[in-house]
Amino acid sequence: EVQLQQSGAELGKPGTSVKLSCKVSGYNIRNTYMHWVNQRPGKGLEWIGRIDPANGNTIYAEKFKSKATLTADTSSNTAYMQLSQLKSDDTAIYFCAMMGYGYFDYWGQGVMVTVSS
């Protein structure tokens, strides 16, 4: 069974960084792209970017290019997203997801990031 297990809730102060993890079991992340999506409180889904764990290539939505950094460790089958220079507007739930061909589609449970002083 494929599972994506995300790290626990984060509380970050403005101006600091947090690093979220997404550990995959049941599937080799080298064989897919890992996407990250956010959802601000009461709002819709927003695509942040994706990484190809096989070679580290990344693509970001324009607004997240200086906000998010995606990495992956194929030895531990884990993807990461670092969010930098946190602002209150970064308060959201962050999902990792593997979306591939056809109905290949798996999501993590989401992690709440709260930015507050």
Does residue 35 touch another protein according to CB under 8 A?
yes
Q: How far apart are CA 65 and CA 46, in angstroms?
A: 14
Shortest Å, Cβ 94 to another protein: 11
CA distances from 75 to 23, 30, 54, 81, 108 (A): 11, 10, 11, 17, 19
Q: Does 42 bind another protein (CB under 8 A)?
A: no
Judged by beta carbon, residue 10 or residue 46, the one nearer another protein is: 46
Footprint of another protein (CB under 8 A) = 35, 37, 44-47, 49-50, 59-62, 95, 97, 99, 102-103, 105, 107-110
